[in-house]
């Protein structure tokens, strides 16, 4: 107990004599630093004190540690305040000067496009529905009319997790099942934006991860004409009335019939042939009438209900809007590219 009193007195004296922040840091290292500080050593010494004195010693040691810790923090705060006052006195602050404009962050071009796309579809009566990015095999493939070993699965190079049957979704289409099962039997008109992942060869036109906007409408009298009108209206609003839109037949296992939507690339752009493979068109969306099997898996009777669905690539849309010649630019985090938006 006498040693603790002597330690407290000595430490307090040296703390009072510490004249600057560096001296205070050195004091802290000597007395309070773990595990070799003198106070820390004294606290751990309770195990060597005889049993009948151990409680009293432990309480006293903790009191010494608390008192010195509080004294150190007060001294450090006072020294920092003193240093600040000295700095202000040496370089006075002119409060009449105009303030510095803080750097303002920017939205990523993909985020800007997502908001614009969502705004257009919202004005067309679509709601936004979010679905998960990690899916199971059944929702990503099976319930979308692609049972195990179906050849159409080869259209998507899938990234699987270490958990069997769990994967990163290859498209936003699993969201169709989620929303149908949640809303059934009511009509549906939603978009489902989100990230998708595929184990693809990265090129100027393809990336391993990308944003996609899924669209789904289900009702009692929905036709292919409704799908065409929706996509054309969106394209005119997004790209302007002067851009050319092409709709062509295609195949997807979860829609029947299926179509793809292309937008013309400006012919005066020197990258036109490279990015459009010489066709002058860049695909932005796949679409079609929801397959009866998918409707049934979502809880709807295909004899009474029909619907259309589409999935569009957000980065492809931005490329068309701004004549960007390489989709890899979106994920390089190159400020020279991002600051343009």
pLDDT number for residue 156: 74
Q: What is the pLDDT of residues 229-265, one digit of tens each?
A: 999 999 999 988 888 889 999 999 999 999 999 988 8
pLDDT number for residue 52: 81
Contacts of 220 (CB under 8 A, 6+ apart): 187, 304, 305, 306
* CATH code matching the domain that covers 109-338, chosen among 3.30.930.10, 3.40.50.11810, 3.40.309.10, 3.90.25.10: 3.30.930.10
Q: What is the DSSP string of 145-178?
A: T--TT-GGGGGS--EE-SSTTEEE-SSSTHHHHH
Q: What is the mean pLDDT of residues 38-64?
A: 84
Question: Which tokens in the block code for residue 159?
Answer: 């990234």
Phi, psi (deg, nearest 5) at residue 285: -160, 150
Contacts of 185 (CB under 8 A, 6+ apart): 299, 300, 305
Quote the CA–CA distance of 2 and 143 in Å, as a whole number: 78
DSSP character at residue 103: P
Residue 190 CB neighbour total at 10 angstroms: 20
Phi, psi (deg, nearest 5) at residue 216: -145, 130
Query: What is the average pLDDT value for the chain, to the nearest integer?
Result: 88
Any idea where the domains of the chain sit in the sequence?
2-90, 109-338
pLDDT band at 95 (very low <50, low <70, confident <90, very high): confident
Quote the CA–CA distance of 229 and 107 in Å, as a whole number: 31
Question: Which helix or strand (DSSP H or E) is residue 212 part of?
Answer: strand 209-219
- Report the candidate in 215, 145, 147, 146 with the shortest Cα–Cα distance to residue 175: 215
pTM of the model: 0.67
pLDDT band at 5 (very low <50, low <70, confident <90, very high): confident
End-to-end CA distance of the chain: 70
Question: Order of strands, edge to edge, in the sheet holding 159-160?
Answer: 134-136, 166-168, 159-160
Quote the CA–CA distance of 307 and 325 in Å, as a whole number: 35
Helical H segments across the chain, by residue range: 2-17, 21-31, 38-44, 51-90, 109-123, 137-140, 174-183, 224-239, 272-276, 292-297, 314-322, 335-338
Quote the CA–CA distance of 109 and 315 in Å, as a whole number: 8
pLDDT of 93 higher than 80: no
Contacts of 152 (CB under 8 A, 6+ apart): 146, 252, 253
Q: What is the pLDDT of residues 7-22, one digit of tens each?
A: 888 888 888 888 888 8
Q: Is the dihedral of CA 173, 177, 182, 185 positive or negative?
A: positive
């Amino acid at each position: 107990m006498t040693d603790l009193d002597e330690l407290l007195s000595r430490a307090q004296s040296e703390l009072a004599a510490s004249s600057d922040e560096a001296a205070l840091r050195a004091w802290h290292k000597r007395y309070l630093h773990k595990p070799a500080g003198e106070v820390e050593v004294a606290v751990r010494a309770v195990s060597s004190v005889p049993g009948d004195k151990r409680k009293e010693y432990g309480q006293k040691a903790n009191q010494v540690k608390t008192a010195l810790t509080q004294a150190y923090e007060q001294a450090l705060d006072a020294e920092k305040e003193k240093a600040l006052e000295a700095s202000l006195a040496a370089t006075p602050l002119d409060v009449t000067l105009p303030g510095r404009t803080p750097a303002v962050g920017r939205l990523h071009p993909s985020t800007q496009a997502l908001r614009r796309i969502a705004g257009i579809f919202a004005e067309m009566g679509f709601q936004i529905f979010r679905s998960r990015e990690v899916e199971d095999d059944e929702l990503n493939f099976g319930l979308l009319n692609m049972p195990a070993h179906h050849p159409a699965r080869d259209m998507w190079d899938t990234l699987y997790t270490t958990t069997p049957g769990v994967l990163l979704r290859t498209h936003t289409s699993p969201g169709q099942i989620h929303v149908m099962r949640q809303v059934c039997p009511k009509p549906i008109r939603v978009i489902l934006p989100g990230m998708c992942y595929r184990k693809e060869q990265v090129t100027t036109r393809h990336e391993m991860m990308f944003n996609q906007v899924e669209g789904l409408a289900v009702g009692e009298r929905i036709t292919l004409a409704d799908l065409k009108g929706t996509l054309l209206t969106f394209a005119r609003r997004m790209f302007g009335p002067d851009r050319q839109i092409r709709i062509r037949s295609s195949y997807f296992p979860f829609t029947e019939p299926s179509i793809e939507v292309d937008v013309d690339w400006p012919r005066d752009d020197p990258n036109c042939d490279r990015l459009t493979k010489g066709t002058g068109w860049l695909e932005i969306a796949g679409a079609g009438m929801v397959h009866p099997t998918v409707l049934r898996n979502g809880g709807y009777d295909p004899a009474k209900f029909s619907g259309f669905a589409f999935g569009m690539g957000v980065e492809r849309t931005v490329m068309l809007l701004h004549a960007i010649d390489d989709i890899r630019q979106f994920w390089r985090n190159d400020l020279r590219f991002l600051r343009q938006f």
